[in-house]
């Protein structure tokens, strides 16, 4: 599988047309069609259903979009890290974080990294615990910030000393309404 062809595949997806993608990529439409045909043969699947004026992505095509983005991100990250200068920390740092009221606290840490390492480009990805964990497992993220209890035995972990404070609205006659605070475990 050629990384350039994966990039071309994503342009076709973005442009919704092989001819528009070929024009954008400054290449002939038959050349691009041949590349995609070879990719389909290599993978043993059909990525697009071709009509007279349009193409429609198949289920396998949709699957490859997500994987191609991951593969390209890993290749780009590896290339950037290999070309980092001697004595200078540079490259890309992909951080995943669960959307939370504490995200502003995490941004202070990210700002400090930017100040200390101006040649490091930071990409922040937000999502659920399971999304952050899946991106860690696939190698897209360098590290992730998750909340709550989840199985983390396969990771090196560090627990933040902070807790989140949330409000709770209850009817006045509810049993918990008499409590000044509650702990959720």
* DSSP character string of the chain: --HHHHHHHHHHHHHT-HHHHHHHHTS-HHHHHHHHHHHHHHHTS--EEE-SS-EEE-HHHHHHHHHHHHHHHHHHHHHHHHTPPTT---EEEEEEEE--TTHHHHHHHHHHHHHH-TTEEEEEEEE-HHHHHHHHHHTS-SEEE--S----TTS-----S----------TTSGGGG-S-----
Q: Are residues 98 and 156 in the same domain?
A: yes
Residue range of the domain that includes 11? 3-73
Domain boundary among 73, 98, 127: 73
What whole-number percentage of the chain has pLDDT above 90? 29
Question: For position 36, what pLDDT does the model report?
Answer: 94
Residue 37 lies in a domain: yes
- Nearest by Cα to 83 from 74, 72, 91: 91
Residue 185 pLDDT grade (very low, low, confident, very high; cuts 50, 70, 90): low
131-140: average pLDDT: 85
Task: Spell 21-40 as b/e; 16+ CB within 10 A means b.
Answer: bbeebeeeeeebbebbeebb
Task: Give per-residue pLDDT as tens, 47-70.
Answer: 999 887 788 999 999 999 989 998
Q: Are residues 93 and 158 in the same domain?
A: yes
Q: Are residues 68 and 89 in the same domain?
A: no
Question: For position 161, what pLDDT does the model report?
Answer: 62
Domain boundary among 73, 94, 116: 73
pTM score, two decimals? 0.50
Residue 180 lies in a domain: no
Give the count of domains, the chain.
2
Q: Are residues 67 and 108 in the same domain?
A: no
Q: Does the pLDDT at position 134 exceed 90?
A: no
Q: Which two tokens stand for residue 66?
A: 């997500």
Task: Give per-residue pLDDT as tens, 99-108.
Answer: 776 667 777 7
Task: Give per-residue pLDDT as tens, 71-85.
Answer: 888 888 777 766 665
Q: Are residues 69 and 89 in the same domain?
A: no
Question: For position 87, what pLDDT does the model report?
Answer: 59
Q: Are residues 98 and 67 in the same domain?
A: no
Q: Are residues 102 and 59 in the same domain?
A: no
Residue 169 lies in a domain: no
Question: For position 79, what pLDDT does the model report?
Answer: 76
Residue 30 lies in a domain: yes
Q: Are residues 63 and 90 in the same domain?
A: no
CATH of the domain at 144: 3.40.190.10
More confidently predicted of 76 and 29:
29
The most confident of the ranges 138-142, 162-166, 180-184 is 138-142
Residue 35 pLDDT grade (very low, low, confident, very high; cuts 50, 70, 90): very high
More confidently predicted of 101 and 176:
176
Q: Are residues 137 and 106 in the same domain?
A: yes
Question: For position 162, what pLDDT does the model report?
Answer: 61
């Amino acid at each position: 599988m050629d990384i350039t062809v994966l990039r071309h595949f994503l342009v076709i997806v973005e442009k919704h047309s092989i001819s528009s993608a070929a024009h954008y990529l400054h290449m002939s439409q038959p050349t691009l069609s041949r590349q995609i045909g070879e990719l389909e043969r290599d993978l043993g699947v059909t990525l697009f259903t071709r009509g007279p004026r349009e193409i429609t992505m198949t289920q396998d095509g949709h699957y490859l979009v997500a994987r191609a983005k991951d593969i390209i991100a890993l290749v780009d990250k590896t290339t950037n890290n290999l070309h980092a200068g001697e004595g200078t920390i540079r490259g890309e740092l992909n951080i995943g974080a669960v959307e939370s009221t504490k995200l502003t606290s995490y941004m202070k840490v990210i700002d400090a990294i930017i100040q200390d390492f101006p040649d490091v480009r930071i990409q922040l990805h937000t999502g659920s615990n399971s999304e952050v964990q899946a991106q860690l497992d696939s190698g897209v993220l360098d590290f992730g910030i998750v909340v709550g209890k989840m199985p983390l035995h396969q990771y090196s972990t560090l627990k933040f000393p902070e807790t989140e404070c949330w409000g709770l609205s209850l009817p006045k006659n509810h049993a918990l309404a008499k409590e000044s605070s509650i702990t959720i475990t």
